[in-house]
Amino acid sequence: MSLLVNSNTIGAGAEEARGHSGGGALREIYDVNAQVVSVAVVPGEVYRAKLVAPEIARSARPLQFVNVEVSQGPHPFLRRPFSLSWFSAAEGLIEITWAVVGEGSKIMTQWETGTEVRVLGPLGNGFSLKDIKGEALQNADRPRLWLVGGGTGLLPMYPLAKEAASQGWEVALFYGARSMAQVMDTSRFVKAGCRVIVATEDGTYGSRGRVTDLLEPVIPELGHEDVIVACGPVPMLRSVKNLMALSAAPLYVSLESRMACGTGLCKGCAVRAAGDEEKYYHVCSDGPVFRADQVELGGAP
Ligand SMILES: Cc1cc2nc3c(=O)[nH]c(=O)nc-3n(C[C@H](O)[C@H](O)[C@H](O)COP(=O)(O)OP(=O)(O)OC[C@H]3O[C@@H](n4cnc5c(N)ncnc54)[C@H](O)[C@@H]3O)c2cc1C
Ligand code: FES
């Protein structure tokens, strides 16, 4: 089954909030039975599964996500959102990678090759470098993309990193985890041509500290030829936003929130617009990527 959605009509202000022109056209969303072709526990204490979903793989963009029906029974009732950590239109495959945090993600650990799962997607507007306006970027010899990922916030970044590197962008990934056990494999980023710098809070892998400690020293270097995309827990995003306050480089944040429908209908994933107490965006349909200056990320870090 497929349905057509228009990002401008689902989420008023979507274009404005994202600060780029990715939406507007009709997008197709598919609700499919996807078969699991591989599933494994991978470094970082996460599970990774590839599923056959040609329709979703064909129309997916970096930083989009899918809503997964984790149980065919009545509980848990709601589907769970997971980013596309990889997809291949040519192979008709999508990949999701997840940390076990509660009932739904635990049920998913029982998947095996051949399991069929109901999946809705691709959801959200995603983010593509083609969407970013700006003369400086268009004219840059080698524009730079700086990815800042905290915890599972690393997961949606790979399709974007790959797209950017293949288009001649210089790509650096700053990635932070709590400890070595939670450090996920970044070798696919390295293979794609990205520079990867890792920090752990306890110093057991990479440098000791938070991912924002990695970012801070490079901020004075950043200018109009740079784009920063951050994904991770809200306190991390807030710190990145604060650090970048005086920088000329645009900062985009990819948000997570509790979700139900994933398509803009239930209004359950609202985030407040910056500077306007009465205006809200919806993470699933206006986002999940927003210009950082358009959304309220709360007070001091
Ligand atoms: C757009 C989007 C993309 C996501 N991508 C990934 C991904 O690629 N990999 C991954 O591991 N997780 C991802 N998440 C988070 C994932 O959806 C939740 O971990 C999952 O829904 C938890 O379901 P559960 O039934 O296991 O836990 P629940 O029993 O529902 O909750 C357990 C705990 O997790 C917290 N939690 C649940 N859902 C969320 C959420 N959406 N955001 C923040 N905290 C939450 C709850 O507050 C609670 O403390 C994403 C979330 C969104 C909105
Ligand atoms: S999850 Fe329903 S509106 Fe976003």
For residue 24, what pLDDT is reported? 54
Q: Is 187 exposed, middle or buried (0-12, 13-18, 19+ CB in 10 A)?
A: exposed
81 contacts 40 by C-beta, under 8 angstroms? no
Q: Is the Cβ atom of 288 under 6 angstroms away from ligand 1?
A: yes
Residue in the structure block whose two tokens are 């949606």: 156
Q: Is the Cβ atom of 268 under 6 angstroms away from ligand 1?
A: no
301 contacts 238 by C-beta, under 8 angstroms? yes
User: DSSP labels for 169-228?
Assistant: -EEEEEEEESSGGGPPP-HHHHHTT-EEEEEETTSSSSEES-HHHHHGGGGGG--TTEEE
pLDDT digits (tens, 9 = 90+) for 4-58: 665 433 233 445 555 544 445 677 899 999 999 999 999 999 999 999 999 999 9
For residue 17, what pLDDT is reported? 55
Q: Is the Cβ atom of 64 under 6 angstroms away from ligand 1?
A: no
Angstrom CA distances, 273 to 29, 152, 278, stand at 26, 24, 8
Question: How far is it, in rounded angstroms, from Cα 198 to Cα 147?
Answer: 12
* Residues with pLDDT less than 50, the chain: 7-14, 20-23, 301
Give 188 Cα–ligand 2 centroid separation in angstroms. 31
283 SS3 class: helix
Q: Give me the architecture of the 130-294 domain, per CATH.
A: 3-Layer(aba) Sandwich (3.40)
276 contacts 225 by C-beta, under 8 angstroms? no
Exposed e or buried b for every residue in 59-89, given b needs 16+ CB within 10 A?
bbbbbbbbbbbbeeeeeeebbbbbbbbbbee
Question: How far is it, in rounded angstroms, from Cα 295 to Cα 187?
Answer: 32
Q: Which residues sit with their C-beta closer than 6 Å to ligand 2?
A: 259-262, 264-269, 282, 284
For residue 99, what pLDDT is reported? 97
For residue 224, what pLDDT is reported? 84
258 SS3 class: coil
Q: Is the Cβ atom of 83 under 6 angstroms away from ligand 1?
A: yes
- Bond from prior residue into 62 cis (ω within 30 degrees of 0): no
* Strands 207-208 vs 195-200: parallel, antiparallel or unpaired: parallel
Q: How many CB atoms lie within 10 A of CB 91?
A: 12
For residue 75, what pLDDT is reported? 83
For residue 288, what pLDDT is reported? 95
For residue 53, what pLDDT is reported? 98
**Residue nearest atom 10 of ligand 1, based on CA coordinates:** 98
Ligand nearest to the CA of 262: 2
208 forms beta bridges with 200
Residue 108 falls in which region: left (phi positive, over 0), alpha (psi -120 to 50) or beta: alpha
Counting DSSP H helices and E strands in the chain, the numbers are 10, 17
Q: Regarding the domain with residue range 2-123, which homologous superfamily does it belong to in the CATH classification?
A: Translation factors (2.40.30.10)
For residue 12, what pLDDT is reported? 35
Ligand nearest to the CA of 5: 2
Q: Which residues contact 130 (CB under 8 A, 6 or more apart)?
A: none
Residue ranges of the alpha helices (H) in the chain?
A: 7-10, 14-18, 54-59, 103-107, 135-139, 157-166, 187-191, 211-215, 234-243, 283-286
Show me where the domains of the chain are located: 2-123, 130-294
Q: What angle do CA 176, 247, 212 make, to 5 degrees?
A: 15
For residue 301, what pLDDT is reported? 46
Give 128 Cα–ligand 2 centroid separation in angstroms. 22
Residues in the chain: 301
Ligand nearest to the CA of 11: 2
